[in-house]
Chains A and B, each alone.
Chain A
Amino acid sequence: MKSRSAILTALVILLSMSVLVFSAQAQEGDELVISPQPCAEPGTLTMWVWDENWATIIGNSIELWKTEYCPGAEVELQVQPWGQYWDLLTTNAAGGELPDVFNMSQDRFRFYAENGVLLNLQPYFDEYGVDTTLWGTGLVDPYRWGEAGDLYAAPVNWDTIAIFYNKEMFDAAGLDYPTADWTWDDFAAAARALTDPENDVYGAAVYAEYQAGYPNWIAATGVTPVVDADRTMCTLTEPGSLEALNFLKGLYDEGVMPSVSIMGGTSADDAFNFWASGKVAMITGGSWKLSQAVDEVTFDWDVVQLPKHPETGRSRSIVHAVGYVASARTENPDLAANLILFLASDVGQRFFAEGGNVAPGNPSPELQQLWIDSFGDTGKNIQAFVDATEDSQGVTVFGEIWDAINSEIVVNIFDLDIPVEDAVAQACAVVEEYLVD
């Protein structure tokens, strides 16, 4: 009897332990993707974010952490507006007074990692039993650093790209609405049919600078856009890049796409505004534009995944994820890591999913559905953005290169009519200067 109860007790303990392990890793059913853990010892942390709305959402999340998981802890949450965020971060890093926890973007990560400013979170993920591959590739790969590819950030959110299209223009042209299995050829045919020079209406505008523009087309050919993953070479002169850019340039030459000057700028926002004013039928747009589109666009519209490349059969969205990182010089590394784990967990991310607008970085299907529902009963195919995370490409271009060539290559090809081959050669010459350092 005695031994049986001992075995039973041991079994119960084992079972409950395995539940603990599973709750951190399980991918199905009602199990959590990432479970929050209680902190070892409360303390005081400072945290910076750059967005007011995020501050509210994260603030609510932190309140829950303080009551349920870390009683006695204090977090001083500050908003440093985007316009000064990076300057302040740099100068504070110089003065050795970084906040304990702060938001990071994929394209700026490298600068801070190189200078040894960030805390390696990998040991904490290991300790908490979080398998970092659960986030896939595009969301976290740009935040890996060092020989072993340690992860230095936990994703806050993700943004993907899809095609926003004007349904009324499709109706007027007698075209069927596009579906997720459409190809570049279908896209080009639709864009031509939708172009109406007499009424100053264009078929498409899909070449915007970085995330919501031309690199998506390059990625679909299988080439990592602009710079390869190791950051050793410029990929714009690769055959895939040339094919994608020449495809877009062909549509521009035919008058199907407007020039940069006509749209007024190279950014995805310029394309979006042009689309929202009814001057173009299809644009590449980010998931961050959904709430604005739902609220402000007056015509009937929908979204569809980017068209598939005819040979590779892939539709690949550029993805970007803001991350939570901790300072390498924090006095409370354990506590900072515990807070980040909580904010990235299913519990902490729920606030983002419910808040709408920002898609939660945690891949839990329940959270993703919550996010889709947060836009209300729109009848729009918002799922297209979630689907786009599957075969996605993380941001490989870092600050200086982004600034140096992204808009310039767009203007050279789609405004100054410089041949694609010359424009990419010129861009690569600049990119390689930065890669040498």
Chain B
Amino acid sequence: MRSALLQWLGPTPLSRRHALWGMALVAPNVLGLMFFFGIPVLMAFSTSFQRWNAITPPEFVGFANFRRLLADPNFHQAFLNTLKLLALVVPGEVVLALLVAVMLNQPLRARNLFRTAYFLPVVTSTVAASVVWTSIFQPRYGSLSNLLAPLGLGEVRWLVDPGLVLIPIAVVAIWQRIGFDMVLFLAGLQAIPAELYEAARIDGAGRWQRFRHVTLPLLSPTTFLVVVLAVINGFQIFDQVYIMTLRTVPGGVGGSATTLTYYLYRRAFTNSEFGYASAVALVLFAAILLVTVFQLRIQRFWVYYEAGET
């Protein structure tokens, strides 16, 4: 038993000591993760099978919460809204971030200044940014309305009109993610050997062809990572919805801006339905897991890894 443990730690006393050191160093993080992440996650699993208002003792109700989900039109709407937001946000942020990264990979004057500028939204508090964006989208006095006025659009009720409200939310979500994706893309771009571009140029490839046939394929592992992260993030959009609809109708008129995360928040903390909210959280978890596994499966059709890197 003892020797098996020692063997597991390492073949020599020195390597064992290194292993122990390593464990000691990661221990705070692992313990923190266990206590503040692992345990709540397990609790969410069990709570989703209970009816619990956080005051009276929880009551086991089997699959009742999940049956209720299937029949709950508000949940269906929140799911659909989340998918619509994903359809806007994921392509939006990936394409724009790639564009910005390619631009900022050129030898530009004040390149670092621009890179910092694009990264700033990432480190800006989402809440503060959403407050500012809310005033930008204000129909009469907002700066966007003033910009659009010459187009004859009139007073567009971005944050109130149920048919429009997801657009401003997507805009803010994209704006906040571009910097993060850009950094990943920049790292990816810099890893592409310059010789390939030279070779392509000698072969007579133009700018677009070099981008299309050299940059895009060689960047695809990065693109894959960016897309996976963007989807996971897109499933969890909350702050923008919360702040930008707070002053008019929280969650949008008729729930038009309610995402899954916002819906579960409302169920848990406004209606004190912690069991039902946990069930929503589990569905969200399952959806993210499924989509991510699906993406991992289909990556071989479009992600190009250089030999030896897979």
Contact = CB atoms under 8 A, between A and B. Distances in A.
Contact of B270 (A91, A260, A400, A415): A400
B248 A265 contact: yes
Given A111-B272, A408-B253, A266 B247 contact: yes
Contacts of B56: 115
Contacts, number: 64
A87 B269 contact: yes
A266 B266 CA distance: 19
A6 interface: no
B160 A411 contact: yes
Contact of A411 (B135, B249, B266): B249
A262 B161 CA distance: 13
Interface in A101-126: 111-112, 115, 117
Contacts of A112: 55
A411 B248 contact: yes
Contact of A266 (B155, B161, B249, B272): B249
Given A87-B269, A266-B248, A411-B160, A261 B155 contact: yes
Contacts of B271: 400
Contacts of A55: none
A415 B139 CA distance: 11
A413 B144 CA distance: 25
A94 B253 contact: no
B270 A261 contact: no
B272 A408 contact: no
B72 to A, nearest CB: 11
Interface in A265-319: 265-267, 270
B140 interface: yes
B253 A416 contact: yes
B95 to A, nearest CB: 31
B115 interface: no
Contacts of B250: 403, 407
Chain B interface mostly = loop
B157 interface: yes
B81 to A, nearest CB: 16
Interface in B238-286: 247-250, 253-254, 266, 269-272
A264 interface: yes
A365 interface: no
B292 interface: no
Contacts of B254: 408
Interface string A77-91: 000000000010011
A412 interface: yes
A28 B267 CA distance: 50
Contacts of A94: 54-55
A270 B272 CA distance: 28
A261 B54 contact: no
A93 B55 CA distance: 6
Contacts of B270: 399-400, 403
B138 interface: yes
B53 interface: yes
A261 B161 CA distance: 10
A260 B247 CA distance: 10
B160 A90 contact: no
Contact of A267 (B157, B247, B266): B247
A90 B140 contact: no
A268 to B, nearest CB: 12
Contacts of A265: 247-248
B61 to A, nearest CB: 15
A416 B254 CA distance: 12
Interface in A208-266: 260-262, 264-266
Contact of A407 (B138, B248, B266): B248
27 contacts: A91-B54, A93-B55, A94-B54, A94-B55, A111-B272, A115-B53, A115-B55, A260-B160, A261-B140, A261-B157, A261-B159, A261-B160, A262-B139, A262-B140, A264-B135, A264-B138, A264-B247, A265-B247, A265-B248, A267-B247, A399-B270, A403-B270, A411-B253, A412-B253, A415-B160, A415-B248, A416-B161
Instruction: Sort A-B residue pairs by CB-CB distance and give the 3 closest, nearest first.
Output: A265-B247, A261-B139, A115-B55
Interface of B: 53-56, 135, 138-141, 155, 157, 159-161, 247-250, 253-254, 266, 269-272
Given A270-B247, A400-B270, 10 more contacts: A261-B138, A261-B155, A261-B159, A265-B247, A266-B249, A267-B247, A403-B266, A408-B253, A411-B160, A416-B253
